[in-house]
Amino acid sequence: MATEENMPQWDDQTDVFISAMEDEIQKDVQVSLRDMLENPESFSSKKGALDKATQVKSLVDEYFRGLLEEMEDEQKSLDQYLESIDSQYKRIDEVVASKTASYKIPYLKPFALNINPDQTEEIVIDQYNDRIDTLVGKLVSISNYVADVSGNYKGHMIGSWIFSGQKPYMLSLNPPDSFIITIEQSQKTISDMVDDVINMSKVNQPAASAQASGPKLQTGQK
């Protein structure tokens, strides 16, 4: 049984999905999904683990595919919002590039940036307008540098910028609020964990098979 120290971490919504799949997977594969995810090393060392984990992966993919297929209308709304937020990102990116060039402030697009959220004031906007130009200009004027820390969702940029100065500011576009994204995040979390079990099983199965077969008698001519 997994202890608190080594218990896998996932959010509450992912836990709901795990519970929802538990009975079906138990029925079809005779495996507890929850036990497999909580005790991957123990599961992967059992006989037939690779085959069972592969079947579980297929059922997990099928479950989430079915959920998403039922959300066609919400997917259309999400796509429309993503097109809008893409357009706003491009506008603000152009303004930031222009303002930083005018003030001779570095405009960075780092791979990663560590910030202290407790010391950073965040400004979230849901619509670009001319007042944003003024705001960006003011923030740039008091910054040592500006960093584009925007997120990428399926090729769409969810705009977010850090203005680093005596007091750091973050300007962000309001991210899409869609249950589709929640489903996809949970699917990735569970699928990645099942993949880990599959990979561990590939390593452990030869050892498990050798242990099950036991030592073999040596024969030879006298």
User: Both 154 and 109 in a single domain?
Assistant: yes
Residues 95, 162, 176, CA angle at the centre, nearest 5°? 80
Average pLDDT over residues 130-150: 95
Residue 222 falls inside a structural domain: no
Report the alpha-carbon distance of residue 24 to residue 20 in Å, rounded: 8
Domain limits at 103? 87-173
The mean pLDDT of the chain is 89
Residue 3 falls inside a structural domain: no
Pick the more confident residue, 190 or 127.
Answer: 190
* pLDDT tens readout for residues 80-132: 999 999 999 999 999 999 999 999 999 999 988 888 888 999 999 988 888 99
Residue 77 falls inside a structural domain: no
Residue 33 falls inside a structural domain: yes
Alpha helices, H only, 72-218 = 72-103, 130-141, 179-213
Q: Answer for the pair 111, 148: CB distance below 8 angstroms, yes or no.
A: no
pTM: 0.74
Would you state the pLDDT for residue 209?
A: 46
Residue 219 falls inside a structural domain: no
Domain count, the chain: 2
